[in-house]
Amino acid sequence: MIGNIISLFFLFFLTLSIPLSANASDISVTASVTKTKLSINDILEYKITISGAKTQPTINESFLNDFSIINRSTQQSYQLINNNFFSSQIKSFQLRPNIEGTIIIPSAKLTIDGKTFETDPITITVSANTSPSSTPNASPSKMPISKQGVSSSGIPQGSSKDLFILAVLDKNQAYVGEEIIYSVRLYRRFSAIDQLLYQEPKFGMLSEQLERDQKTYTQTYKGIRYYVQEIDRRSLFSYESGSIAIPPASAEVQINFFYGSQIIQSNEISINIIPLPETNKPSDFSGLVGDYGLDVDVNTKALVENKPIAIRLSVGGSGNLKQLSTLSISTDSDIFKVYQSSINDLITYVNSVKGIRHFEYIMVPKVDGSLSLPVFSFSYFDPKTKQYNVLSSPSQTVSIIDAGESEIQFANNDSQNLITELRQDLRYIKESIDISKQATPFFKQVFSLFLIALNIGLLATTIFSFIAKSSLFRNIIQRFSLKPSKQAVNAIEQIKSTSDWSINDVQHHIFRFLSSILNRPVQGLPLSEIIEELTQQNIDTSTITDLESLLDQCSFLAYSPDSSNVESKIDICDKAIDIIKRIKT
């Protein structure tokens, strides 16, 4: 009974809320930011959303004195719901802070239809500049990649030659707003690792995550052959000139369960950002840098006076397409009224940031006759040619038919927009709803019990995984596990008792035992290097000599025609067991 009452109350409230929300016409103004903590070089997007206004608002931008305005944009949308006309506007500002510390963005004051509206103030925190001071300007050129913090051996300081990460850039000099490819690669001398936890640095500029190369390949670096894999790849965009230093990236690497984990750092990289040239710079330049094209799609058939026309423009290319928020429009406002409808992105993040940004505009012809469509354009800077380019839609002449008594009439922006639409009366169909049958409570259903059991299992797995990674758990496991020497002796004794085995099996357990002694993988290392490190461990000289002789004998028997001799194999096993027992673990 109680469930039926609650259901009826919910349906009654839902039925009332729909027409109330549809008929609301109050003007609301809100402000928001994309982030509240940033550095002095970061870009902040400040948005003002105006709902319910039928005229263009007037904004006094003096409240943004603590910021440099990088770009402005306006998005506007219109909807017709149940014969009611709704409009909303979003005014966006891309800001760069001028000062450090705690900044309070004051209330924005907007004037709409003679009334003043205010937004709430927003508090943000600006940290110190993570980049060094600017350097003199220079033109971009092909130069070697800068690798600061790298020792003379080519390895980042503090890292070993067996395992390190290296950060590189595709260029060491770029224009403001130009794409910079940042990559971090892991170099290792052993074939596999158990776990890698990567932490990217604070770039101090706009970054976009790219799809990294999943393949592992071999490469000779500074005379040593390594397994190399890419662990991070990003596109960086700086909107402030000067020399910018990218701090080292860090990673926690666990080779296997027995050796624990270690933290390694990459090298620090610096890049010189030079400002865009002022010569021939378009007045409406939006800051777009890269290589782009423009496509236009508009249906010019059956155009009628006062009837809206949709025109779709696609800007495609490589670079930060999101920097372009609006297109320049060249038209006579007495002939065409133009409204921005929507913006949609189709962007890929593979080797670089590429894609298409789709703009849709609504055009309303105010007169009939032979008219030229509005011309849409935008400008960008091409870093390859070092020139500004302007792309425009082609000029088209169309014939507009006189509508006579038009069904839709648009007035000027200064007066109230009147929208009158002739429609037939709509008869809404409402189906009766039977709520007499109440469903079985969810917690009594079989599926809910399955979900509870699944969650308990996942929780137990998570807790066990967390405990297994702790150092205390590893110490407990090592206390109850056999020592490496006993493990090796037992394994070789077991090999002797089998009929199908080879000398390589004995070598494998010897190398595994030596790895535990030297705390590093020894498989594949030169024998001289193994002997040298054992000597540093204060191992008895005679034992090391016997070990060297045993390894040479194993290598000889492994490729000898008489390698199947059982007596020779057993003799090798006995010698191996004796040497392992003589070495102190």
pLDDT in tens, 263-299: 889 999 999 999 999 999 998 898 899 999 999 998 8
CB 170 within 8 A of CB 189: no
Q: What is the pTM of this model?
A: 0.48
Report helix angle 566-582 to 484-496, nearest 10: 170
Give the pLDDT score at 568: 72
Q: Is the dihedral of CA 464, 466, 472, 476 positive or negative?
A: positive
State the DSSP code for 534. Answer: H
Strand, coil or helix: 364: strand
Compute how many other C-beta atoms are within 10 angstroms of the C-beta atom of residue 24: 12
Rounded to 10 degrees, the C-alpha dihedral 12/17/22/27 comes to 160
CB 274 within 8 A of CB 139: yes
State the DSSP code for 307. Answer: -
Cα separation values, 210 from 206, 217, 230, 347, 357, Å: 13, 19, 11, 11, 18
Q: First and final CA of the chain: distance in angstroms?
A: 76
Question: DSSP strand E in 82-215: where?
Answer: 84-97, 101-105, 109-112, 115-118, 122-127, 163-169, 173-175, 179-188, 195-199, 206-209
* C-alpha atoms less than 13 angstroms from C-alpha of 139 in its C-beta half-sphere: 6
At 262, the pLDDT band (50, 70, 90 cuts) reads confident
408 pLDDT above the threshold of 80: no
**pLDDT tens string 214-248:** 888 999 988 889 999 999 999 999 988 899 999 99
Report the DSSP pairing between strands 397-401 and 303-304: parallel
Q: Hey, what CATH topology would domain 25-127 get?
A: Immunoglobulin-like (2.60.40)
Give the pLDDT score at 433: 56
CB 333 within 8 A of CB 365: no
Give the pLDDT score at 19: 40
**pLDDT tens string 95-137:** 888 888 899 999 998 888 888 888 999 999 988 754 433 333 3
- Across-strand partners of 354? 318, 348
**pLDDT tens string 491-541:** 887 777 777 777 777 878 787 888 877 777 877 778 788 888 888 877 888
Q: Closest Cα partner for 509 from 528, 484, 539, 480?
A: 484
Residue 168, both tokens: 């590189």
pLDDT greater at residue 328 or residue 85: 328
Rounded to 10 degrees, the C-alpha dihedral 59/63/66/68 comes to 10
60 pLDDT above the threshold of 60: yes
Give the pLDDT score at 562: 55
Give the pLDDT score at 514: 81
Residue 37, both tokens: 């903590």
Q: Hey, what CATH topology would domain 163-274 get?
A: Immunoglobulin-like (2.60.40)
Give the pLDDT score at 9: 47
Residue 45, both tokens: 């997007």
Q: What is the mean pLDDT of residues 549-556?
A: 79
Give the pLDDT score at 74: 77
Give the pLDDT score at 22: 36
**pLDDT tens string 18-39:** 443 333 347 888 999 988 888 8
pLDDT greater at residue 184 or residue 488: 184
Q: What percent of the chain has pLDDT over 90?
A: 26
User: For the domain with range 290-401, which CATH number is right: 1.10.150, 2.60.40, 2.30.30, 1.10.10?
Assistant: 2.60.40
List every span in the chain annotated with CATH 2.60.40.740: 25-127
List every span in the chain annotated with CATH 2.60.40.10: 163-274
Q: Is the dihedral of CA 519, 524, 527, 529 positive or negative?
A: negative
**pLDDT tens string 435-461:** 555 566 776 778 888 888 899 999 999
409 pLDDT above the threshold of 60: no
In whole angstroms, give the CA distance from residue 568 to residue 580: 18
Give the pLDDT score at 139: 34
